[in-house]
Amino acid sequence: MNRSDPISTFQFSIIDFESAGELKGQADVPIQVGITTRDSRGFAVEEDLRSYIQTTRPITWQASKVHGIKKEDLFSAPQFSELWPQISTRLKGRIIVAHNAGTEKKFLSHFPLHRFGPWIDTLELSRKLFPDLKSYTLGDLIKIFKLEERLTLAYPTLDFHDALYDSAATWALLENMIELANLWGCPLKTVLDISGKS
């Protein structure tokens, strides 16, 4: 991937995980994944991926209150390893995008040889491009930039804290910020330097 090429020449994979939540003495685990793929014109490159992920670990009350996922939703879900071929196909050869990407990087590190990237974290990018905003949560940024209707039209049955909806919201946010900052013609390296990620 040539980082001197304009960012408009690349494809993007936007990923989000919902998790079981922090539990003392037990590692957090993913229980839902959502991936959208887009080119710079906003067209889908591959079919969206939205799947629950099987786990034997309990979902914390706090996590379930946020995303609404219960253990019953996971009964027939595939294991994370079973989903990996579908996940890796969508990530390969593309810029990976996430909002507050630490969770996504952590869960993908279960497959340490994947070598995907580079990454753009829309949380960091929004802080650098728009330093005077009052909030940088994904939901608040979507409201600030008035992107709710666009998402509702595309995903009418979903909402925030659904992994697919959040991945689509992250793309809407990234696309909007790049347009506002007139970055589509800039080299990929410039955008990575702004966001402070690689």
Taking residues 21-45, report their average pLDDT. 92
Taking residues 151-177, report their average pLDDT. 96
pLDDT in tens, 69-101: 999 999 999 999 999 999 999 999 999 999 999
Taking residues 147-161, report their average pLDDT. 95
Which residue, chain included where needed, has tokens 């409201």? 143
Distance of CA 34 to the CA centre of its chain: 7
121: closest CA among 159, 174, 172, 168?
174
Taking residues 26-41, report their average pLDDT. 94
- Tokens coding 148: 């709710």
Q: What is the rounded CA–CA span in Å between residue 63 and residue 73?
A: 14
Q: What pLDDT is recorded for position 27?
A: 83
pTM: 0.95
Q: What is the DSSP letter of 143?
A: H
- Tokens coding 27: 């590692």
Q: What pLDDT is recorded for position 23?
A: 85
